[in-house]
């Protein structure tokens, strides 16, 4: 070892040349560039024992997409005018992570899918038209990648950049993942200029692989790739994870939902945008996690029309208070662009009766899709027919019904409260109690 060690400034692991494309090592290992933006954007280099193009031509072929993943390209239809509550997927047959993928919602640049894998992957996978964002609702395992393995468990996001060779090795037991595809760019960390880079999470929460598990193995190794709706298979005579080193910033990583440290406010309601963790082209992902309830402000969601996005919310764990008991873990709500919604009657009644919880004991993953977004036939097959009726308390409970005297009551109240201000007197101050 030299007397002093240095960081290079760019992450690297294992055996790498002094710089990309340069140095004597180039004659001993095979460099592969994973480049975005026509090689002018984000990039990583991997260094292989064997040429990455050593496929067996006689075994390379296109696959029948409908046979490989029958529900991934489920036909899309317009969505609007009705809210959907999607039940938990029960696969008709045990399939692996990708063969069992079912499309739920999509627009031109992003999509949401669900998969409940119950069979091992006997191939490697590359998505050639999207970066994948997995959310592990249930289960655990190891995501094996060219850059090294990533262990994951319930509550983890897994980001798999477009084109990266990988394979899921799932542990025993139930597995259930929501899978977001970003067709036009990678997820970027969300942060507000006024709250800075450590809210609501830090880049140091992203866990990149650091241990290579280099395989110098001969055999028959299948890689399935997906480009839009086209699936192709190629077969290599050496193991695809033969990298001895890598350098770059275009990497797979894990991000744990426990590392979201939410913004909370005592005297106002934090809107959904305050809970955004990732921004994708045409989509944003928010995490509603365990947090203190607002004390004086509105602590249930306001009634709202999202005028540009179709909202999806995956219910991960906990009690989903604002939904009035309609949703259980694993379900997904779909609220189309522009269509009003908000707290269910039970939740609003609790607000009116001042039954504020101390803490919201819930974790939900929201992904909103810029309009025009569409819903799939597969999703409609999971849709509960009675969801629109779940707001019916607003037409049956006396406190919400028409009252001829209501306008006069509100006018009287408004008069009385016109000069009311928030209490700002610190305890013990001379103005206390005034
Ligand atoms: Fe909403």
In whole numbers, what is the pLDDT of the chain averaged over residues?
94
Q: Which residues of the chain have pLDDT under 70?
A: 1, 324, 425, 429-434
Which spans in 281-357 are helix H?
Answer: 345-352
Query: How far, in Å, from the CA of 21 to the mean position of ligand 1?
Result: 49
Look at residue 422 in the predicted model and tell me its pLDDT. 78
Query: How far, in Å, from the CA of 340 to the mean position of ligand 1?
Result: 8
Look at residue 72 in the predicted model and tell me its pLDDT. 98
Query: How far, in Å, from the CA of 333 to the mean position of ligand 1?
Result: 9
332-343 pLDDT tens trace: 999 999 999 999
Residue 244 and residue 272: Cα distance in Å, rounded? Answer: 43
Look at residue 325 in the predicted model and tell me its pLDDT. 72
Query: How far, in Å, from the CA of 306 to the mean position of ligand 1?
Result: 7
Query: How far, in Å, from the CA of 287 to the mean position of ligand 1?
Result: 13
**Stretch (H or E) spanning 408:** helix 406-417
Residue 243 and residue 197: Cα distance in Å, rounded? Answer: 33
Strands 102-106 and 374-376: antiparallel
163: left (phi over 0), alpha (psi -120 to 50) or beta: left
Query: 189, 165, 292: which is closest to 240 by C-alpha?
Result: 165
**290 neighbors 360 (Cβ within 8 angstroms):** yes
Query: How far, in Å, from the CA of 401 to the mean position of ligand 1?
Result: 24
């Amino acid at each position: 070892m030299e007397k002093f060690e240095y960081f290079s400034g760019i992450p690297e692991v294992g055996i790498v040349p002094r710089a990309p494309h340069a140095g004597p090592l180039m004659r001993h290992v095979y460099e592969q560039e994973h480049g975005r933006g026509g090689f002018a954007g984000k990039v990583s280099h991997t260094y292989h024992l064997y040429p990455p193009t050593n496929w067996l031509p006689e075994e390379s072929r296109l696959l029948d997409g409908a046979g490989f993943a029958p529900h991934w390209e489920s036909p899309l239809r317009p969505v609007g005018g009705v809210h959907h509550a999607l039940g938990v997927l029960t696969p008709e047959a045990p399939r692996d992570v990708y063969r069992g993928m079912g499309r739920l919602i999509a627009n031109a640049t992003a999509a949401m899918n669900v998969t409940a894998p119950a069979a091992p992957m006997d191939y490697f996978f590359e998505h050639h038209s999207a970066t994948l964002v997995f959310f592990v609702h249930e289960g655990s395992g190891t995501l094996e990648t060219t850059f090294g393995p990533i262990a994951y468990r319930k509550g983890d996001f897994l980001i798999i950049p477009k084109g990266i060779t990988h394979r899921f090795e799932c542990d025993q037991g139930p597995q259930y993942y929501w899978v977001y595809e970003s067709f036009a760019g990678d997820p970027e960390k969300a942060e507000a200029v006024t709250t800075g880079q450590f809210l609501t999470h830090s880049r140091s929460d992203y866990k990149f692989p650091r241990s290579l598990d280099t395989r110098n193995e001969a055999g028959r190794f299948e890689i399935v790739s997906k480009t839009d709706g086209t699936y192709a298979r190629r077969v290599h005579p050496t193991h695809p994870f033969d990298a001895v080193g890598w350098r770059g910033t275009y990497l797979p990583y894990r991000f744990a939902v426990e590392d979201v440290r939410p913004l909370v406010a005592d005297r106002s309601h934090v809107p959904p945008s305050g809970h955004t963790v990732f921004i994708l082209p045409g989509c944003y992902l928010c995490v509603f996690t365990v947090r203190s309830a607002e004390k004086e402000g509105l602590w249930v969601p306001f009634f709202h029309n999202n005028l540009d996005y179709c909202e999806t919310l995956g219910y991960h764990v906990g009690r989903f208070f604002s939904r009035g008991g309609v949703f259980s873990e694993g379900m997904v709500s779909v609220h189309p662009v522009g269509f009003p919604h908000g707290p269910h009657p039970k939740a609003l009644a609790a607000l009116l009766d001042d039954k504020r919880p101390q803490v919201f004991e819930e974790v939900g993953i929201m992904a909103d899709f810029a309009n025009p977004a569409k819903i799939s036939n597969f999703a409609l097959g999971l849709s509960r027919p009675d969801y629109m009726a779940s707001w019916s308390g607003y037409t049956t409970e006396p406190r919400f019904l028409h009252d001829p005297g209501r306008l006069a009551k509100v006018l009287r109240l408004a008069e009385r409260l016109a000069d009311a201000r928030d209490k700002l007197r610190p305890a013990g101050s001379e103005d206390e109690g005034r």
